Amino acid sequence: MLLTKLSFSTLCILFALIFIGGYVSSSGVGLSCPEWPLCPAGLVPMRDFIIEYFHRTVAATTGIMVFVTMFFTLRSRETKRSTKIASMIAAALVVGQITLGAFVIVEKLHAALVTLHLGMGLILFLMILTITLDTHQLSKTGCKNHSKCNNPHVIK
């Protein structure tokens, strides 16, 4: 199922983004690119900004993948309502993360904002993990009638 592969890919890149974000934060390069959304050199970064620019590029890619995942989740007739809701929450969290990421830069890495940024990232990860597990279960069972899929007394 395409949605299973897409949601798993989104989950993997989101995990990588959280890992990269942790490195950016702990290594102190979070303000190496002090402008938002682009670095001072514009679209192509200078060597000094490469780590932060890489983080922003992976974040943009992740955001696009979350929205694509939501699109296919909402279009699917087979996904559960809860999966569709999780995809909409994930998309809303991406918008929140972009906005919060900008505030983190503007406010010069204020600790409370950085912590909130990580917290929202973890909730986003949970939403994408939920979608991935739900779509994996759906593709594994092939069951389209969810009331029967969740019923342990129905023989599959």
Domain assignment present for residue 105? The answer is yes
Predicted confidence at residue 146, as pLDDT, reads 54
**pLDDT at position 143, please?**
63
Decide if 130 contacts 83 (C-beta within 8 A). Answer: yes
Q: Which amino acid is at 156?
A: K
Is residue 56 in a domain? Answer: yes
The pLDDT, as a whole number, for residue 151 is 47
Each residue's pLDDT, cut to its tens digit, for the chain (156 residues) gives 899 999 999 999 999 999 999 998 888 888 777 777 767 766 666 777 788 888 989 999 999 999 999 999 999 999 999 999 999 999 999 999 999 998 988 888 899 999 999 999 999 999 999 999 999 998 888 765 555 555 443 333
Nearby residues of 37 by Cβ (< 8 Å), 6 or more positions away: 56, 102
Q: Is residue 10 part of a domain?
A: yes
Q: Hey, what are 9's tokens?
A: 């890919």
Phi, psi of 39 (to 5 degrees): -80, 165
Tell whether 156 is covered by a domain.
no
Domain for residue 7, yes or no? yes
**Cα gap 156→152, rounded to integer Å:** 9
Distance CA 110, CA 107 (A): 6
Using left for φ > 0, alpha for ψ between -120 and 50, and beta otherwise, residue 142 falls in left
Q: What is the pLDDT of residue 153?
A: 37
- pLDDT at residue 106, as a whole number: 86
Question: What span, in angstroms and rounded, lies between the C-alpha atoms of 44 and 49?
Answer: 10
What pTM was estimated for this model as a whole? 0.86
* Number of domains into which the chain is organized: 1
Dist CA 137 CA 83 (whole Å): 12
- Residue-number span of the structural domain to which 26 is assigned: 2-149
Structural domain includes residue 154: no
Give the H or E element holding residue 117.
Answer: helix 111-141
Quote the DSSP letter at residue 142: -
